[in-house]
């Protein structure tokens, strides 16, 4: 529930806008007389249709969370497969692919469609990562694990929230409307850990505050003979209702934000990306990409400006709460 830098919607009670699969299977999924392969395919299709039709909780104030957006190559083996605002990234390797963010429950068919539109197989996703444990970034994880068996890797302090479906989240755990399907974590990550697959190396940087285990991902991307440092920001935002002083939302939350901004400012960034497309002006940059600008996502100055602006907002809110 990061929202954009300007508005952070929290209420989540409406039915999302979704794209349904173009073809609904004619065959019925009866176990009698059906091969296991055909049965599995049928079950997979039905599960995806049910997820698309499900009235999951989505922010009414931000339809961009569920509005489809063209999948595209950012640079090298790094691709965008999210919606108009909920970002999801695919790292393609010879040994299988890595997906960053599962987004909403209803996002799974959209993510699958985006991956397939690029010519890749959804089932080749071997590792699933997230930016942080909020339902707009991890509610689809249980379904993805169930559908294709991807190994789920999560930063240490977000693991309890992921595994209990959001109930222990420090800000939203008391709200049933913010819960989502539980998902078992296969590998617990720690600050600085590497995730490796088929030559790709992603580094997990713990940038807490927004959630206790909020994670910023970095990786090297090679494109047209050049090497770029990609930074996918987890979230530096202070959501409405977060208490930084007095009776803090959790002990040390202000110090965690301080650590986060220190970390973000120390990272070298060429490709500026984030958990929401709005963080890095994704829509506008995609338009430039379509117009032939192959370096549309190379934006070190935009990254520095975004981090500085978010830090200023944090410090203003901290000062305000301390004065009260």
* pLDDT surpasses 60 at 104: yes
Q: Which residues contact residue 139 at a Cβ distance below 8 angstroms, ignoring those fewer than 6 apart?
A: 56, 102, 103, 104, 105, 107, 180, 181
At 131 the three-state DSSP class reads: coil
Starting at the edge strand found earlier in the chain, the sheet holding 78-80 runs 72-75, 78-80, 89-93, 96-100, 125-129, 151-155, 187-189
Share of the chain above pLDDT 70, in %: 81
Does the reported pTM lie above 0.75? Answer: yes
Instruction: Note the pLDDT of residue 29.
Output: 36
Which residue, among 118, 139, 114, 120, has the nearest Cα to 128 in the 3D structure? 139
Mean pLDDT for 5-14 is: 35
At 129 the three-state DSSP class reads: strand
Output the CA–CA distances (angstroms, integers) from residue 100 to 16, 93, 174, 218, in the order listed.
21, 14, 27, 12
* pLDDT surpasses 80 at 81: yes
Question: What dotted CATH number matches 42-323?
Answer: 3.60.15.10
Instruction: Note the pLDDT of residue 262.
Output: 98
Output the CA–CA distances (angstroms, integers) from residue 14 to 56, 177, 188, in the order listed.
7, 11, 33
Confidence of residue 62 (pLDDT cuts 50, 70, 90): confident
The residue ranking higher by pLDDT, 126 or 60, is 126
Q: Hey, which residues does 215 pair with through a beta bridge?
A: 206
């Amino acid at each position: 529930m990061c929202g954009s830098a300007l508005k952070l919607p929290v209420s989540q009670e409406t039915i999302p806008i979704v794209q349904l699969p173009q073809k609904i299977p004619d065959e019925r999924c009866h176990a009698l007389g059906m091969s296991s392969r055909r049965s599995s395919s049928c079950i997979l299709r039905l599960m995806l249709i049910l997820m698309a039709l499900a009235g999951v909780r989505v922010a009414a104030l931000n339809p961009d969370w569920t509005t489809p957006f063209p999948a595209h190559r950012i640079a090298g083996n790094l691709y965008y497969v999210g919606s108009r605002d909920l970002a999801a990234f695919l790292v393609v390797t010879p040994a299988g692919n890595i997906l960053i963010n599962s987004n909403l429950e209803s996002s799974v068919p959209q993510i699958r469609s985006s991956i397939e539109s690029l010519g890749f197989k959804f089932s080749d996703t071997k590792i699933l990562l997230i930016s942080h444990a909020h339902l707009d970034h991890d509610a689809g994880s249980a379904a993805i694990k169930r559908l294709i068996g991807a190994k789920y890797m999560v930063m240490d302090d977000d693991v309890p929230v992921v595994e209990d479906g959001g109930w222990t989240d420090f800000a939203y755990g008391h709200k049933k409307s913010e819960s989502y399907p539980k998902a078992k974590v296969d590998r617990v990550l720690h600050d600085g850990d590497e995730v490796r697959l088929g030559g790709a190396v992603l580094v997990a940087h713990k940038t807490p505050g927004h959630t206790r285990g909020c994670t910023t991902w970095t990786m090297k991307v090679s494109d047209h003979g050049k090497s770029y440092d990609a930074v996918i920001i987890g979230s530096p935002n202070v959501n409405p209702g977060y208490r930084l002083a007095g009776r803090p939302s959790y002990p040390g939350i202000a110090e965690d934000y301080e650590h986060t901004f220190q970390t973000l400012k120390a990272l070298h960034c060429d490709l500026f990306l984030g958990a929401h497309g709005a963080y890095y002006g994704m829509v506008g940059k995609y338009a430039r990409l379509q117009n032939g600008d192959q370096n549309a996502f190379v934006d070190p100055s935009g990254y520095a400006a975004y981090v500085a602006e978010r830090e200023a907002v944090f410090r203003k809110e901290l000062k305000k709460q301390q004065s009260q």
